[in-house]
Amino acid sequence: MNINVQIDSTALVLRLQNGQRRLAYAVVNAINNTAKRIQEAERRRVEEEFTVRKTQFIRREAAIIKPFASVKQGRPFAEISVGKKPRLLLSLFERGATRKPATSGARRVAEPVVGGPARPEFRRPVTPEFKLRRLRFDRTSTGKRRAGVTQTKTYLVPGVGIFQRLGAEAARAVYIFTSGKKLKPRLRFVKTAEQVAQKWFREELEREVVNAIARARGKGL
């Protein structure tokens, strides 16, 4: 995505001593300041639209500025992107997609049952002892059950889900296997960035122009 903005208030800065250099820094600073405004707007959008369980992690991944605009590196632009770390679904909410299994070769998605031992409440992350990587249902080389499975009293029903034994004739669902849910385009990353840039870039540039003139003390005018 590229956001282009015309600059028509440069003549005054160009008349200053070292005017071209001062203008370059003014533009780069305005771009980076606007990028930071976009970043904060994207973070607020995510927190308002989604149930966030790991706040600091999601705030970092919601909008990553890399690289920043730079005069020394000859880069008159900044790039802002959504994080794409493994198992992070955030970027899929921009255009919409179908959630696929995170494990290579898997056909089903294991969804924790809300109210169950893995996820007692929707806002809470999965309980550590019930994370899938700890619930391994294959046997060890000596034929013993995995410790995590034994301690949690869980068992797997192929194609259905993972359950926990509560007694001789009682059990409850921990995970249910599904073919994957469709993720609606709720993020609106591009639209938010465009709106913020159109609203704030000119003001940021004008502020940097004033700062450039102040620092130059009018030399060259």
Span 122-149, mean pLDDT? 79
Task: Encode pLDDT of 152-186 as tens digits.
Answer: 899 888 889 999 999 888 999 999 998 877 889 99
Provide mean pLDDT across the span 127-145. 77
To the nearest whole number, what is the mean pLDDT of the chain? Answer: 85
- For 40-77, what is each residue's pLDDT tens digit? 999 999 999 998 888 999 999 999 999 999 999 999 99
- φ, ψ at 159 (rounded to 5°): 80, -5
Residue 189 has pLDDT above 90, yes or no: yes
Q: What is the 3-state secondary structure (H, E, C) of 120-182?
A: CCCCCCCCHHHCCCCCCCCCCCCCCCCHHHHHHCEEEECCCEEEEECCCCCEEEEEEEECCCE
Q: Where are the domains of the chain?
A: 11-96+183-216, 100-180
